[in-house]
Amino acid sequence: MTHTLHREGSEESLRDDYVLVITGAKGYNKKGCAPRLREMMRVVSKFTPINLGCMEVGNTGRGVPVSEIIRNARNSDLVQVVFDDKERVIEALRALKEADQGISVVVSCNNDDIVEIVRRAGVGEMPHTSNLSLGFMGKVERAASEDERLITTMCGHHMVSKSLVGHHVRRIREGSTTPLEAAIDMSRQCTCGAFNTVRAAHILEELANKE
Amino acid sequence: MVYIVRDLCVGCGKCAVYCPVQAITPGEKAFVDQEKCVECSTCIRAGCPVDALRQPHLKPPRLVRKLFSDPLARFDQTDVPGRGTEEMKTNDVTNNFDHGEVGWGVELGRPGVSTKFVDVEKVAMAVARHGVRFTDLNPVSMILDYSTGRFTEDNPWKIDPSSIRRLRSLSAIIEFKTPIEKIPEVIGSLREVSKEIDTVFSIGVITRWSDGVMEVTSYLESAGVEPRPNGKHNVGLGRRGYTQEGS
């Protein structure tokens, strides 16, 4: 899955959005990798991520305790860890490098930031491989509006509906929920734990304040 | 297929709000449009207050909707949860994408529109003309004839191609790779076929780095395409030989 690739927003808005994905490679180091995934989760959880989880085990955004996620991780899991601060990402990567578990790590972030991140974390001079989004084509008028996509694209599987965005924006305007409560509800729909609840709350607040 | 027990439904409309493809019409008794429904189970997970939603065990071809739409439905063949592959996530270990190559992920139905499979086939046929190498172990590849991009009966469920074309899912990712020089021509074909479909597709490209820059940069410029400011970056911490599976 291309999980976080097509997140939309301005460069500025995406500056607080970092997702780490940790997973074994089928046919190479996946079989028997669960203890390594667990150790890597223990390492990154010390840097207070916004969200952490594996798709079939659950994530902190859906209310599953970190200890339970770590305990239940399996060889086939894809670990997702969300941060809203570059410095913590660098610290977490540095710690993962020191832990030397030999399992692949992908960082989703602004492309202009990645070289600085890997160099300052001591991981290398440049990434090994990158994945770029070229946007989308076709019947673009059938897609959600630009404002709605700021939120809906934060779940790569599109489990967060555009109707839910409109519903929560209305409720925030009415005063019957807060941006953070609304963002937490949305993050529960994202089964893999890549949803950035803090960024979503900021966006929802901005949308609710729009005329 | 997902349906609502009418005697239980209290018409609160919650399921309709959470449905990613607007397949549920709210009302005194909510109603599921079975053609639009992609079996993603989001409505079930949202939690009906009176437990009026049902999703019985599915069989092919309806099952295929769920496999391509519900991230918790697993393709046994890929060993990856969700409808994708490991693509570049483990490229530091697998080296599936080498220098001079570009990986492509063309995801029909994304963002959030859903897709009929007839459109998946149109796009697959458009890129197959360039002699692309489709990704093995990708769920869409499993239903394709690699030489033509057409659907084949030789798929895991033995479904007739005409039945596959009538399917709908939240999205379906066509993955392949080409030599890097083919970027402008493949993008040209994608632009053309985008006019023939009734949905959208997102495009992602996978590239290696050389001399501190991404190898695709100049090719994307010559194709008149500007990437979004954010992307995914494999930082190179993976190694072979660390587990039971290592060589």
Q: Is residue A132 part of a domain?
A: no
Asked if the C-beta of B89 comes within 8 angstroms of chain A's C-beta atoms, the answer is yes
Mean pLDDT computed over every residue of chain A: 93
Q: How confident is the model at residue B242 (pLDDT cuts 50, 70, 90)?
A: low
Mean pLDDT value of segment B166-185: 96
Rounded mean pLDDT of B198-205? 97
Report residue A115 as tokens: 């070289």
Question: In the predicted model, what is the mean pLDDT of residues B72-97?
Answer: 79
What pLDDT does residue B105 have?
A: 96
B158 touching chain A per CB within 8 A: no
pLDDT category at B79 given cuts 50, 70, 90 is: low
ipTM: 0.95
Residue B82's pLDDT is what? 60
The vertex-B99 CA angle with B93 and B105, nearest 5°, equals 75
Are A115 and A149 in the same domain?
A: no
Same structural domain for residues A8 and A111?
yes
Among A11, A17, A26, whose Cβ lies nearest the Cβ of B86? A26
Strands B115-116 and B168-169: what pairing? antiparallel
* More confidently predicted of B228 and A13: B228
Question: A51 — phi, psi (to 5°)?
Answer: -145, 145
pLDDT, tens only, B93-104: 999 999 999 999
**Which chain A residues contact residue B197 at CB under 8 A?**
138-139
Residue type, B45: R
Please indicate, yes or no, if residue A133 is contained in any of the structural domains: no
Q: B82 vs A156, B88, B207, B214, CA distance in Å?
A: 10, 15, 23, 28
C-alpha to C-alpha distance for B56 and B66, rounded to whole angstroms: 12
* A115 and A147 belong to one structural domain: no
Q: Tell whether omega for the bond before B60 is within 30 degrees of 0, i.e. cis.
A: no
A2 neighbourhood in chain B, CB within 8 Å: 84, 87, 105, 107, 173, 202, 204, 232
The reply to whether A99 and A25 lie within a common domain is yes
Same domain for A64 and A33, yes or no, is yes
**Is A172 inside a domain boundary?**
yes
Q: What pLDDT, in 10s, does the model give residues A158-187?
A: 999 999 999 999 999 999 999 999 999 998
Q: What is the pLDDT of residues A36-62, one digit of tens each?
A: 999 999 999 999 999 999 877 888 877
Instruction: Please tell me the distance from the alpha carbon of residue A39 to that of residue B185, in angstroms, as a whole number.
Output: 45
Report if residue A192 sits inside a domain.
Answer: yes
What's the farthest any 2 CA atoms get from each other in chain A? 54
B196 touches chain A (CB under 8 A): no
Q: Of A92, A121, A150, which residue constitutes the final position of a domain?
A: A121
Question: Over chain A, what HEC string results?
Answer: CCCCCCCCCCCCHHHHCEEEEEECCCCCCCCCCHHHHHHHHHHHHCCCCCEEEECCCEEHHHCCCHHHHHHHCCCCCCEEEEECCHHHHHHHHHHHHHHCCCCEEEEEEEHHHHHHHHHHCCCCCCCCEEEEEEEEEECHHHCCCHHHHHHHCCCCCCCCCHHHHHHHHHHHHHCCCCHHHHHHHHHHHCCCCCCCHHHHHHHHHHHHHCC
Given B17, B173, B204, which is nearest A133 (Cβ)?
B204
Distances (CA, A) of A194 to A24, B85, B109: 18, 17, 20
Q: Tell me which residue in B200, B230, B244 faces A137 most closely, judged by beta carbons.
A: B200
Residues A15, A72, single domain; the answer is yes
Domain end call among A121, A150, A170: A121
pLDDT for the residue B84: 66
At A4 the pLDDT is: 87
Say what percent of chain B tops pLDDT 70: 94
Whole-number Å distance between alpha carbons of B242 and B240: 6
pLDDT digits (tens, 9 = 90+) for B109-127: 999 999 999 999 999 999 9
Cα(A156)–Cα(A8) distance, integer angstroms: 11
Alpha-carbon distance of B176 to B206, in angstroms, equals: 10
B208/A128 CB distance under 8 A: yes
The Cα of B157 is separated from the nearest Cα of chain A by a number of Å equal to 21
In A, minimum Cα distance to B192 occurs at: A138
Q: Which pair of structure tokens corresponds to residue B110? A: 């994304």
The answer as to whether A43 is a domain residue is: yes
Q: What is the dihedral sign for C-alpha B202, A117, B95, A96? A: negative
**Lowest-pLDDT choice from A50-64, A72-86, A89-103, B102-116:** A50-64
For the record, the structure tokens of B133 come out as 């190498």
From the list B42, B71, B113, the residue facing A55 with the nearest CB is: B71
Confidence of residue A76 (pLDDT cuts 50, 70, 90): confident
The burial of B137, by beta-carbon neighbours within 10 Å (0-12 exposed, 13-18 middle, 19 or more buried), is given as middle
B64 and chain A in contact, CB less than 8 A? no
| Residue B230 CB contacts under 8 Å (≥ 6 apart), including other chains | A7, A9, A11, A14, A17, A108, A109, A110, A111, A133
- Per residue in B14-65, pLDDT (tens digit) is 999 999 999 999 999 999 999 999 999 999 999 999 999 999 999 999 999 9
Q: Which residue of B has its CA nearest to A110?
A: B230
A26 and A105: one domain?
Answer: yes
Instruction: Return the CATH number at A96.
Output: 3.30.70.260
**Which chain A residue's Cα is nearest to B213?**
A126
Residue where a domain terminates, one of A72, A90, A121: A121
Mark whether A108 and A156 lie in a shared domain. Answer: no
Q: Is the pTM of this model over 0.90?
A: yes
Same domain, residue pair A82 and A21: yes
Domain presence at residue A155: yes
Do A161 and A116 lie in one domain? The reply is no
Gap between the Cα atoms of A151 and A166, Å rounded: 11
**Residue B81, min C-alpha distance to chain A (Å):** 7
Check if B110 contacts A (Cβ < 8 Å): yes
CA distance A158 to B40: 10
For chain B, how far is it from start to end, CA to CA, in angstroms? 44
Angstrom distance (rounded) from CA A101 to CA A124: 16
Domain tally for chain A?
2
A101 in any annotated domain: yes
Q: Are residues A23 and A115 in the same domain?
A: yes
Q: Does A50 touch chain B (CB under 8 A)?
A: no
What is the span of the domain harbouring residue A57? 2-121
Asked if A30 and A73 sit in the same domain, the reply is yes
pLDDT of A123 above 70: yes
Average pLDDT, chain B: 93
Could you tell me if residue A197 is inside a domain? yes
Q: Does B162 contact A at CB distance below 8 Å? A: no
Q: Which of A135, A138, A119 is nearest to A127 (CA)?
A: A119
8 Å CB contact of B17 and A14: no
